[in-house]
Every structure is written in C-alpha cells, then in structure tokens.
C-alpha cells in the first residue's frame, strides 16, 4: 500500500487538529472532511480538501483507507460501524462510546469481523508514558505496590457559562477528565477490579461534582489513590506537567503520578527514579540510587496518526483497542456509581 488515504469526520476542536497532522504526515494523505456544519468549510478550504456532509457522500466519492471520527460522543459507534461496513480502518476519539452498552455493540462487531479500530486515547503514544511503562515492565520498580495520581486543576468560571450542561450530572470531571486518567492507570498498572469514591460539590455548588477522591484496586494486587478536581488551584495534573499541550502553562518541578514498587518508585512526568541497586537489601535505612530517565518529547497526536496508518496497513495491532475503550468506560461508570452510593464497586477481572 502507498500512502494511507484518510478522511476526518467532525472538523471541530480536535478533528481540525487531526486533519492538520494528517496533512503533515509522511505516510498518510488527508483526502476529505465530513461535517455538515457551515464552519467546516473554512477547515476544508484551509487544508485544500473536499468537504462532504455525510459519510455516505464521502464513500460514494472516493476510495478511503481510514476515517478519524472526531464527532460528538453519541455518534461514535454508529459512525464507526458505518466505516467498518465500508471496509475502512477507524480511529475513533475517546470516549469510544457514550455508554457501556453502545461500546459493547461496537466491541462485538470488531471481535466478529477483525475490523481495524484504534481508540483515540492519545496519551498512550506519549514517549513519557511509553518510557514509564517500559521501566515498570522491565522490573526497575520491582512488584508494583501502589500508585498515587492526581488531576487537580482550576477550570475558569466561563467554562461553565459557555456550556451550561457542564453544571449538570455527566458534565463533570469524572466523565470528561477521568477517562484519560483511567486509560493511563490501566496502561501502567494493569486492570482495575474495584473502586471506591467520595465526591463533593462544596465549592462550585453545581449539581455535578467538582472534586472526587478515588480508591482503586488493580488485578495484580496493587492499590491506588487518585485525587480529581476542577476547582483547586494546583499544578498536579498531566495537563500542567507533561508539556503535551503548549496551551497549558507547565511546571517542571511537579508530578501527577508516583508509582511505587518493592524495589523503587517512579515519579511521572519528571521521570525521577529512586530505587535500590539490584542484588542489595531494600530497606528505608538504606539510601536509594537516584536518577532521572531520559525522554525525547514528541507530539503524541502525531505519533498516534502514524500508529493508525500502521494499523490500517495491517502492520500493528491497535495499542488502544475497542475492548480497552470499553474497559475504560466501565471503570468510569463504576467510579460514578461509587461516588453516588458511597460503596465499593467491583468490576469483573479482565472486563
Ligand atoms: N483526545 C483528546 O484529547 C480530545 C480532545 C478534545 C475532544 N476529544 C473528543 O473528540 C470528540 C469531538 O470533540 P470536540 O471537542 O472536537 O468537539 P467539537 O464540538 O469542537 O467538534 C465536533 C464536530 O463534529 C461535527 N459533527 C456533528 N455531527 C456530525 C456528523 N453527523 N458527521 C460529521 N461531523 C459532525 C460538528 O459540526 C463539529 O464540527 C469528542 O468525542 C471528544 O471527547 C478528544
């Protein structure tokens, strides 16, 4: 196959970014935009590609190897199924679906057909997390015991005025922000099998939560705590530490995860490692060997596009599969239920 011929459905905030990256890709050709909104005309003109109002019109007009679906969540599954029917590969934005039931519908078709579908949890492709996972997998930290994570930041008041739905249940940080974190936690520490949560709306006073304290149990026996808030003036978030999106100010002295094992710990994204030298006794009376793992920063969205092209060519399995997207959604639903009921919620192991 030559260059992969890829279209983008949904030319909003993230779709326009995908389309721009596709134009710059060495292995892909952006062949068109699908979006019924008048505002999409500007994006298509700027990128010099045809605009279609529907997926049907796109597929009727030209051969397409893959489609990036960057439309509102409730359209993801039907549009992904449509592309699968046409034999195209799919990169579907996160969350994979609006509901667990819808994600299950897509997962069943992917399992039955072997369709090539990648879910857009782009942080998976960030070299920081790729390096962190490699360090964990090669045993640098020993057996993983605990993870402490945070996504604690301050969203501006106008964010809630611009989208009043964000004040209502479902518009808060559990559904909007935590799905990224769950994917990262599962990538680094394995499947999540149980959760507990306390939620609060004490500061903003909206119907939706503004702050959540979450406990996690992993299949391998590790435990985790995660602090989530959109109303605290703090830099302990991936957004304000990873330098992934230059629109956010970033603080090089802060971390958003500490992963601790029986031989050492890793702070992410500073990548500071404190570990006991191999073969030596480990104890809090002994000094750690202290170091920092090197990482070459690269745009994970651009890396994700190159991975998508490899998936389309049949050279790679999706690094974030539909079953992964479904598992992430199940954990999110469990956190929301735990916060609502105040009880622990178990998830089937390997779900
Ligand atoms: N990976 C990330 O970090 C990230 C960031 C932002 C958004 N997202 C996800 O991307 C998706 C889009 O989010 P957004 O913020 O870009 O939204 P947006 O509202 O800015 O854009 C959505 C676009 O979809 C178009 N659209 C609506 N119906 C359509 C249809 N039937 N066919 C084609 N296009 C249609 C709209 O006209 C709009 O241009 C969501 O699923 C969101 O969760 C992911």
Residue 349 is predicted with a pLDDT of: 65
Kindly report the protein residue whose alpha carbon is nearest to atom 43 of ligand 1.
Answer: 94
Residue 181 is predicted with a pLDDT of: 98
255 lines ligand 1 (CB under 6 A): no
Place of tokens 């994204």: 269
CA distance 66 to 24: 16
Which atom of ligand 1 is nearest the CA belonging to 301? 1
Which atom of ligand 1 is nearest the CA belonging to 120? 1
**Which positions ≥6 away from 164 have C-beta within 8 Å?**
none
Distance, CA 20 to ligand 1 centroid (Å)? 15
**Separation of CA 233 from chain center:** 23
Residue 1 is predicted with a pLDDT of: 73
Distance, CA 15 to ligand 1 centroid (Å)? 6
Distance, CA 269 to ligand 1 centroid (Å)? 28
Kindly report the protein residue whose alpha carbon is nearest to atom 5 of ligand 1.
Answer: 14
Distance, CA 10 to ligand 1 centroid (Å)? 5
Kindly report the protein residue whose alpha carbon is nearest to atom 37 of ligand 1.
Answer: 37
Kindly report the protein residue whose alpha carbon is nearest to atom 7 of ligand 1.
Answer: 14
Region class of 221: left (phi > 0), else alpha (psi between -120 and 50), else beta = left
Residue 350 is predicted with a pLDDT of: 53
Residue 50: CB atoms within 10 A of its CB come to 14
Q: How many residues does the chain have?
A: 351
Residue from 14, 77, 245 to probe ligand 1 pocket by mutation (most atoms less than 8 Å from CB): 14
Distance, CA 79 to ligand 1 centroid (Å)? 12
CA angle 187, 91, 35 (to 5 degrees): 140
pLDDT in tens, the chain (351 residues): 789 999 999 999 999 999 999 999 999 999 999 999 999 999 999 999 999 999 999 999 999 999 999 999 999 999 999 999 999 999 999 999 999 999 999 999 999 999 999 999 999 999 999 999 999 999 999 999 999 999 999 999 999 998 898 999 888 999 999 999 999 999 999 999 999 999 999 999 999 999 999 999 999 999 999 999 999 999 999 999 999 999 999 999 999 999 999 999 999 999 999 999 998 999 999 999 999 999 999 999 999 999 999 999 999 999 999 999 999 999 999 999 999 998 999 998 655
CA distance 131 to 248: 23
Which atom of ligand 1 is nearest the CA belonging to 37? 37
Pairing mode of beta strands 66-69, 4-9: parallel
Q: Is residue 48 within 8 Å of residue 21, measured between CB atoms?
A: no
Pairing mode of beta strands 211-218, 223-229: antiparallel
66 lines ligand 1 (CB under 6 A): no
Kindly report the protein residue whose alpha carbon is nearest to atom 21 of ligand 1.
Answer: 12
Residue 258 is predicted with a pLDDT of: 98
Distance, CA 192 to ligand 1 centroid (Å)? 28
Residue 351 is predicted with a pLDDT of: 52
């Amino acid at each position: 196959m030559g260059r992969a011929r890829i279209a983008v459905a949904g030319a909003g905030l993230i779709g326009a970014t995908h389309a721009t990256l596709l134009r710059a890709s060495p292995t892909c050709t952006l062949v068109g935009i699908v979006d019924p909104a008048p505002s999409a005309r500007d994006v298509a003109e700027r990128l010099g590609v045809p605009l279609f109002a529907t997926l049907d019109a796109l597929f009727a007009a030209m051969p397409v190897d893959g489609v990036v679906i960057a439309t509102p969540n409730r359209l993801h599954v039907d549009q992904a199924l449509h592309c699968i029917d046409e034999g195209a590969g799919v990169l579907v934005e996160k969350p994979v679906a609006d509901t667990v039931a819808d994600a299950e519908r897509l997962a069943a078709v992917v399992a039955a057909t072997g369709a090539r579908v990648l879910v857009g949890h782009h942080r998976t492709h960030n070299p920081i997390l790729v390096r962190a996972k490699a360090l964990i997998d090669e045993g640098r930290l020993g057996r993983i015991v605990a993870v402490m994570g945070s996504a604690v930041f301050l969203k501006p008041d106008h964010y809630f005025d611009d989208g009043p739905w964000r004040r209502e249940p479902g518009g808060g940080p559990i559904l909007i922000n935590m799905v990224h974190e769950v994917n990262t936690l599962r990538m680094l520490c394995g499947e999540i099998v149980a959760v507990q949560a306390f939620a609060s709306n004490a500061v903003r006073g909206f119907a939706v939560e503004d702050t959540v304290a979450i406990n996690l149990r992993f299949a391998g026996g590790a435990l985790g705590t995660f602090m989530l808030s959109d109303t605290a003036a703090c830099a302990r978030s991936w957004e304000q530490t990873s330098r992934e999106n230059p629109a956010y100010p970033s603080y090089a002295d802060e971390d958003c995860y500490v992963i601790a094992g029986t031989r050492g710990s890793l702070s992410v994204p500073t990548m500071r490692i404190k570990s006991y030298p191999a073969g030596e006794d480990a104890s809090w009376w002994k000094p750690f060997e202290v170091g920092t793992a090197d990482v070459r920063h690269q745009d994970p969205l651009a890396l994700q596009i190159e991975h998508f092209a490899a998936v389309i060519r049949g050279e790679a399995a999706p690094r974030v599969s539909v079953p992964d997207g479904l598992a992430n959604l199940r954990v999110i639903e469990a956190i929301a239920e735990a916060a609502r009921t105040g009880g622990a919620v178990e998830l089937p192991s390997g779900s």
